[in-house]
């Protein structure tokens, strides 16, 4: 993570460094990004960079944390859930909020897409952390709905949360088309609606 020296920089300089990193990491996989290109684009001396970050990985992890925080801001109202929306309806809303995040931050989506399709050591670490966070959030929501009688109390919370995490992740991975983003987002929403409808109604005919 950045040093205090970085955080003490003025906004213009911090933005310059961050925007240079966004440009490079959204156009190349992590291994192909040269730190010298980021430093040149940010218009800072190489020595100054090492006053702000330990190395390229440190900068990249910071960038991912910025992306994560930005996306969480889009999901904030759903996470608070003041309107007490049922879990499966909330999953759809959160997915749509995620789509809005993607529409408004295409460079962030490109960075995440490169990460997800380049399964290196950083991918393993970051995805493990993200999945852990997502499962925790979903488990709390599921348990709340079980107490309210909205979800069958016999449903395994851990397994159900894992199903939703895998479902939302796989829909995004399988259908994202950066050349036709709007069409791919439309397809994603249609699929999540159909699958959530199946989960609501069930598949077994008890008649």
pLDDT along the chain (207 residues), means of 10: 94 96 96 96 95 95 93 89 91 93 92 86 82 91 95 95 93 87 92 94 76
Residue 149 Rama label (left phi>0; alpha psi -120 to 50; beta): left
Q: How far apart are CA 135 and CA 128, in angstroms?
A: 11
- How is residue 83 annotated by DSSP? T
CA nearest neighbour of 21 among 58, 51, 48, 70: 58
111 contacts 25 by C-beta, under 8 angstroms:
yes
Spell out the residues 6+ positions from residue 104 whose beta carbon is closer than 8 angstroms to its own: none
Q: What is the DSSP letter of 148?
A: T
pLDDT value at position 207?
Answer: 63
State which fold the 4-201 domain adopts.
Answer: Tetracycline Repressor; domain 2 (1.10.357)
Cα dihedral sign for 51, 66, 57, 28? negative
- Rounded to an integer, what distance in angstroms lies between the CA atom of residue 21 and that of residue 30? 11
Which strand (E) or helix (H) includes residue 40?
A: helix 35-42
Distance of CA 172 to the CA centre of its chain: 10
pLDDT at 187: 94
Q: What is the pTM of this model?
A: 0.85
The dihedral built from the CA positions of residue 184, 100, 97 and 122, taken in this order, carries a sign that is positive
Quote the pLDDT of residue 206: 66
pLDDT (0 to 100) of residue 56 = 95
What gap in Å lies between CA 70 and CA 118, rounded to an integer?
22
Q: What is the pLDDT of residue 130?
A: 83
Closest CA to 114 of 188, 27, 18, 10: 27
Q: Is the dihedral of CA 108, 113, 116, 120 positive or negative?
A: negative
What are the distances in angstroms from CA 161 to CA 4, 58, 77, 98, 119?
Answer: 37, 31, 20, 18, 23
Q: Give CA–CA dist 89/197, Å, rounded.
A: 9
């Amino acid at each position: 993570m950045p040093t205090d020296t970085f955080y003490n920089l003025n906004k213009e300089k911090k933005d310059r460094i961050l925007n240079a990193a966004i440009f490079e990491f959204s156009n190349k996989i992590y291994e192909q990004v040269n730190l010298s290109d980021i430093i040149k684009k940010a218009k800072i001396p190489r020595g100054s960079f090492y006053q702000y970050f330990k190395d390229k990985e440190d900068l990249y992890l910071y960038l991912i944390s910025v992306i994560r925080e930005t996306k969480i801001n889009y999901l904030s109202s759903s996470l608070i859930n003041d309107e007490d929306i049922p879990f499966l309806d909330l999953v759809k809303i959160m997915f749509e909020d995620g789509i809005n995040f993607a529409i408004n931050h295409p460079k962030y989506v490109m960075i995440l897409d490169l990460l997800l399709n380049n399964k290196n050591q950083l991918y393993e670490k970051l995805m493990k952390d993200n999945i852990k966070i997502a499962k925790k959030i979903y488990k709390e929501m599921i348990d709340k709905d079980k107490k309210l009688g909205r979800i069958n109390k016999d449903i395994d919370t851990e397994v159900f949360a894992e199903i939703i995490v895998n479902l939302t992740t796989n829909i995004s991975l399988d259908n994202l088309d950066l050349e036709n983003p709007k069409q791919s987002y439309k397809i994603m929403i249609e699929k999540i609606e159909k699958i959530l409808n199946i989960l609501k109604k069930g598949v077994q005919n008890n008649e």
